[in-house]
Structure 1
Amino acid sequence: MTSAAKIPKILVIMGSIRENRNCKVISDWILEVARQTGHKLEFELVDLQTWELPNDELNLPSQHKYESEYTKKWSEYVDSANGFLMVSPQYNWGYPAALKNALDHLYQEWHNKPVLLVTYGGHGGSKCNAQLREVFQGLKMKNMQTSPQISISREQILNGVKESDPSFTEYKPVVEKAINELADSFEPSSGTN
């Protein structure tokens, strides 16, 4: 990317809307790691609690004929992004309904944009990770190869993850690697193999 190029805007979408969620602390930690990499990326934290998306739209998202003002605003906001970093817990071997609802409201707005997924849960959110990566593929997004899975303990699940939790240290290298891939996705290809 040349110095005159616009800095890519990355929406960091928190997948959980629960009141007592770990998603905010984990997302903040990932953002801290991302900023320490020194890449020229603009990160903007997105809390789905603040988006009052309806459960359904009258038309198919692929038609791009939105009825709800909330969906129209969501469409403009997502469309303004160059890429995404999604942070999601695993719920009952799957992903949160609020995140799926936010994704399913749109279609073309996600196309051909890079997406980095970080999941967390008792076993790193592996099932959620696999399922969401498939959803991203259906939305024609560009999945990053590295997709960190952060394991948290039962105590952390029940009582909350603390800011700057030392248990995250082991995940820093894989998160850095994933952020590097995301940043590289905005670089023009060199044309060499």
Structure 2
Amino acid sequence: MPKVAVLLGSLRRPGMGFGIASWLTPLVRQSFQTARTSTPDASSVDVVLVDPTQPPLPLGPIVDGSHVPADIRDPTKHPNPAVREWAMFVTSCSGFIILCPEYNKSYPGELKNTFDHLYWEWARKPVMVVAYGGGGGARVEEALRGMLGGPFKMQVADKGVGIKWPRGTDKVPPEGPAPKWLQAYEPEVLAAVEELNGLILKNKA
């Protein structure tokens, strides 16, 4: 069964990330189910939320100077056990969704660190970006597209989602129904997932 990982780009608790993820993850799961029912011989997709505070993350800083990640093409050959587990997880995924806040016009350092521990494992993997922030996350989406499609050679979906939360609103609760302003982004998520699904199927062919 193909697996798509939702990578949460921020460790902040409490924060918007976990609340938005609790709304996004089941919506993505439903979107893939809808897309796959209209595709002959397409299996269902396992959508998993990756909590950056739980194994196979966090990884900590890169301190091993004996090699660079690009030296290692076999995910089972990473010398650090935590990195090796992360490499094997990334390799097992058919695609990714990056859920990321905008911090000072860019992405959080912990998300960059998550990517920098690996290299070849990311290549050609389809990915879609869901950014959020007070301004809608446009600048972090642009920064992520440059990183993912550039040095990491991922297949970045043209359609992304930029979520702008209204001023003065409370944080999105991790449980219960999502607020109406967030639910309004469902059509954009559905369209982006449809494109991501097409990239995954094309990769499989």
TM-score normalized by the length of structure 1: 0.87
Q: Determine if the alignment matches structure 1 residue 94 to structure 2 residue 106.
A: yes
Q: Which moved more, 1:33-42 or 1:79-88?
A: 33-42
Q: Which of 53, 66, 69 matches 1:61?
A: 69
1:29 aligned counterpart, secondary structure: helix
Following superposition, the deviation at residue 160 of structure 1 comes to 1.2
| Maintained 8 Å contact 1:8/1:42 | yes
Q: Which moved more, 1:38-47 or 1:105-114?
A: 38-47
Q: Which of 110, 113, 119 matches 1:107?
A: 119
Q: Which of 174, 181, 186 matches 2:195?
A: 181
Q: Determine if the alignment matches structure 1 residue 75 to structure 2 residue 87.
A: yes
Following superposition, the deviation at residue 24 of structure 1 comes to 1.3
The sequence identity of aligned pairs, in percent, is 31
Cα deviation per residue 1:132-176 (whole Å; 9 max; x = unaligned)?
1111012010000101000013334xx412341110122111110
| Maintained 8 Å contact 2:127/2:157 | yes
Cα deviation per residue 1:85-104 (whole Å; 9 max; x = unaligned)?
11001111110111000011
Q: Which of 99, 111, 125 matches 2:137?
A: 125
Following superposition, the deviation at residue 54 of structure 1 comes to 2.4
How many residues are paired up?
A: 181
Q: For residue 155 of structure 1, what is the amino acid of its counterpart? A: G
1:12 aligned counterpart, secondary structure: strand
Cα deviation per residue 1:2-26 (whole Å; 9 max; x = unaligned)?
xxxxx31001110111121211111
Name 1:29's counterpart in structure 2.
23
Q: Determine if the alignment matches structure 1 residue 170 to structure 2 residue 176.
A: no
CA distance in structure 2 between the partners assigned to 1:47 and 1:15 by the alignment = 9
Following superposition, the deviation at residue 188 of structure 1 comes to 4.2
CA distance in structure 1 between the partners assigned to 2:143 and 2:129 by the alignment = 11
| Maintained 8 Å contact 2:136/2:163 | yes
TM-score normalized by the length of structure 2: 0.83
1:10 aligned counterpart, secondary structure: strand
Q: For residue 190 of structure 2, what is the amino acid of its counterpart? A: E
| Maintained 8 Å contact 1:41/1:183 | no
Task: Show structure 2 runs of 5+ residues with no match.
Answer: 37-43
Name 1:4's counterpart in structure 2.
none
Task: Show structure 1 runs of 5+ residues with no match.
Answer: 1-6
Cα deviation per residue 1:101-152 (whole Å; 9 max; x = unaligned)?
0011100000111001100001111111000111101201000010100001
* Runs of 4 or more consecutive aligned structure 1 residues displaced over 4 Å after TM superposition: none
Name 2:11's counterpart in structure 1.
17
Name 1:150's counterpart in structure 2.
163
